[in-house]
C-alpha cells in the first residue's frame, strides 16, 4: 500500500513539475520551437542518470524513476510537437528536435550518472 501511495504522490509531483517547467520555458522562449518539452526531457534524463549513479535500493530507484521521472518526462508530447513541426513544413526544426533531444538527453543522462556516482 505504501508503494502505491508513493507512486501517486511522486507521479503527481512529477506531472506538476513538468507543467511548471514547460510553461516557464515556453513563456520565456516563445512557441516557434518546443523548448519547454526539450527542457523537461533533458532535465529528466539528467535526473534519471543521477538516480542511477546513486546506486539506490532497487525499490526506491524504481519508484523514483517510474513514478516521478515517468510522469515528468514526455515522449508522446515530444513526438507530437515534432510531427506538428513537420506538418508546418518546418523540416529543419523538426529534425533538430529529434537529433538535438536524443543527443542532449544522452549527454544529460551521462553527466547525471557520473555526478550521482561521485556521491
Quote the CA–CA distance of 74 and 81 in Å, as a whole number: 11
Residue 97 · residue 78 · CB < 8 Å: yes
Q: What are the E-state strand segments in the chain?
A: none
Q: Is 73 annotated as a binding residue?
A: yes
Query: Which positions ≥6 away from 54 have C-beta within 8 Å?
Result: 61, 116, 117, 119
Question: Which residue positions form the known binding site?
Answer: 70, 73
Question: Which residue positions form the known binding site for Na(+)?
Answer: 70, 73
Amino acid at each position: 500500500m505504501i508503494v502505491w501511495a508513493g507512486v501517486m504522490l511522486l507521479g503527481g509531483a512529477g506531472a506538476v513539475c513538468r507543467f511548471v517547467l514547460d510553461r516557464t520555458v515556453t513563456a520565456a522562449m516563445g512557441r516557434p520551437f518546443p523548448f519547454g518539452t526539450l527542457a523537461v526531457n533533458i532535465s529528466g534524463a539528467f535526473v534519471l542518470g543521477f538516480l542511477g549513479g546513486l546506486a539506490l535500493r532497487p525499490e526506491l530507484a524504481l519508484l523514483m524513476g517510474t513514478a516521478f521521472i515517468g510522469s515528468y518526462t514526455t515522449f508522446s508530447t515530444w513526438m507530437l510537437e515534432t510531427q506538428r513541426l513537420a506538418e508546418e513544413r518546418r523540416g529543419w526544426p523538426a529534425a533538430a528536435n529529434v537529433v538535438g533531444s536524443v543527443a542532449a538527453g544522452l549527454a544529460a543522462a551521462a553527466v547525471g550518472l557520473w555526478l550521482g556516482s561521485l556521491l
